[in-house]
Chain A
Amino acid sequence: MSTSKEWPLWEVFIRGQHGMSHRHVGSLHAADAEHAIRNARDVYTRRNEGVSIWVVEAAQITASSPSEKGPLYEPARDKVYRHPTFYDIPEEVGKM
């Protein structure tokens, strides 16, 4: 086969029309960033899904490791006082 060198993988993030943050939508291959944006436009915005595209080379992303799930996320589990429902406010106070 002719190409020994594959185009690198890029992760694609798109911001829709309604003021939400950019959201990861998928990935694609492209030779460079400009090419990745162009491909992302064809692959991920065929139905007006977005008004802004970010692309990041997948190799540049550092991810948390699944084996750290416990130490990273368990500590938050018993801190229910971080949620508004933890605090009982009498109904007569009204909406809060």
Chain B
Amino acid sequence: MYAQMIKSEATQDDPEMLAAFQARIDAGEKIEPKDWMPEGYRKTLIRQIGQHAHSEIVGQLPEGNWITRAPTLERKANLLAKVQDEAGHGLYLYCAAETLGVSRDELTEMLLDGRMKYSSIFNYPTLTWADMGAVGWLVDGAAIMNQVPLQRTSYGPYARAMVRICKEESFHQRQGFHIMMAMVNGSDAQKRMAQDALNRFWYPALMMFGPSDKDSVHSTQSMAWKIKMNTNDELRQKFVDETVPQAEYLGLTVPDENLRWNEETGHYDFSEPDWSEFFDVISGNGPCNTDRLNARQKAWDDGAWVREAMVAHAEKKRARKLAAE
């Protein structure tokens, strides 16, 4: 997902405190910033929320790529609003992470020096306008699948950020699907672009849910803490079941020859993505990893004088106000 392969941290706290903490979570209570929490819970959440926040921010880049080249003024306004929302999502999440005792600058630095990651999906290029359709439809669609249950997560600030995000997210998916509808009803070349976008984004979208449950070693603790609500495979299946009929509606072909409806299970059977590609991308070797991090580094460096000037200006105003009193 936006947070993939979050390693849950070991905890060495007092067993009685741990049991009381688990009882609160089991009773559906929310954990708030000033409440006692196990060190492992705190650290795992910083990593998870931080990775989620970074994904929202880095996720602006592949779509920002097309804002100036949107085919109509209306599409441009739609995309701009969508990308601006993603900036907001990043900010809500950074604030949630900060309540756990990490600073915004530390989070940024950890992204830039590679200690923290962002979702693998944003390391793929957006080559044509149809990719704006595919990203909204599939990538935001997959994100929604994961974010809706996270509204019930045990950590209060994270759950509240998720509620805000989910409210805004469905517009993202719908504007993407809307672009796809226009493409498939257009010229043959436009239909081919739509199909090509689906071909390129299908498996990377499936990878967003993280490795298969059998290879996903960190889930048990996170699920007990209710910071992970469903297993990777559960969500992936749900995504396939919802998306395949939408692709059919568009008249597009999901690039998977093993895809078929399974009467017995009531779900689609489908091929797993190439996990070696996933591990490659997440460890830094995807097509756009370097570009994405360079863009973030440049924004951080180029913004330094603005951050400093704002502080200097605020200090000057404060001094003047004091002098006038």
Given the known A-B contacts A1-B109, A2-B301, A7-B307, are A32 and B35 also in contact in the complex, defined by CB atoms under 8 Å? no
Cα separation A1 to B111 with both chains bound (whole Å): 13
Cα separation A65 to B36 with both chains bound (whole Å): 11
Cα separation A2 to B109 with both chains bound (whole Å): 11
Q: Which residues of A contact B313 (CB under 8 A)?
A: 31-32
The yes or no answer to B323 lying at the interface (CB within 8 A) is: no
The yes or no answer to B324 lying at the interface (CB within 8 A) is: no
Interface pair B91/A43, CB less than 8 Å apart: yes
Cα separation A1 to B311 with both chains bound (whole Å): 16
Q: Which residues of B contact A65 (CB under 8 A)?
A: 34
| Interface of B: prevailing SS | helix
Q: How far is the CB of B66 from chain A (nearest CB, A)?
A: 20
**A2 to B, closest residue via Cβ:** B304
Q: Find residues 10-66 in chain A having any chain B CB closer than 8 Å to their own CB.
A: 25-32, 35, 42-43, 46-47, 63, 65-66
Q: How far is the CB of A40 from chain B (nearest CB, A)?
A: 11
The yes or no answer to B308 lying at the interface (CB within 8 A) is: yes
Range of interface residues on A (Cβ < 8 Å): 20 to 34
Cα separation A14 to B307 with both chains bound (whole Å): 26
The stretch from B98-106, B122-130, B279-287 touching chain A is B98-106
The yes or no answer to B26 lying at the interface (CB within 8 A) is: no
Given the known A-B contacts A6-B105, A29-B104, are A46 and B311 also in contact in the complex, defined by CB atoms under 8 Å? no
**B309 to A, closest residue via Cβ:** A31
Interface pair B304/A3, CB less than 8 Å apart: yes
The yes or no answer to B224 lying at the interface (CB within 8 A) is: no
Cα separation A27 to B97 with both chains bound (whole Å): 12
Range of interface residues on B (Cβ < 8 Å): 20 to 34
Cα separation A66 to B32 with both chains bound (whole Å): 9
Q: Find residues 61-99 in chain B having any chain A CB closer than 8 Å to their own CB.
A: 81, 84-85, 88, 91-92, 95, 98
Cα separation A29 to B92 with both chains bound (whole Å): 11
Q: Find residues 132-186 in chain B having any chain A CB closer than 8 Å to their own CB.
A: 160-161, 164, 168
Q: Which residues of B contact A9 (CB under 8 A)?
A: 95, 98
Interface pair B308/A2, CB less than 8 Å apart: yes
Q: Which residues of B contact A25 (CB under 8 A)?
A: 164
Interface pair B88/A6, CB less than 8 Å apart: no
- Chain B 284-325 per-residue mask, 1 if CB under 8 angstroms from chain A, else 0: 000000000000000011001001101101100110000000
Cα separation A47 to B168 with both chains bound (whole Å): 9
- Chain B 30-73 per-residue mask, 1 if CB under 8 angstroms from chain A, else 0: 00101110000000000000000000000000000000000000
Interface pair B92/A1, CB less than 8 Å apart: no
The yes or no answer to A79 lying at the interface (CB within 8 A) is: no
- 25 inter-chain pairs at a CB distance below 8 angstroms, sorted by A residue, are A1-B105, A2-B301, A2-B308, A3-B311, A5-B311, A7-B310, A7-B311, A9-B98, A25-B164, A26-B92, A27-B95, A28-B95, A29-B104, A30-B310, A31-B310, A31-B313, A31-B314, A32-B313, A35-B314, A42-B88, A46-B81, A46-B84, A63-B34, A66-B32, A66-B34
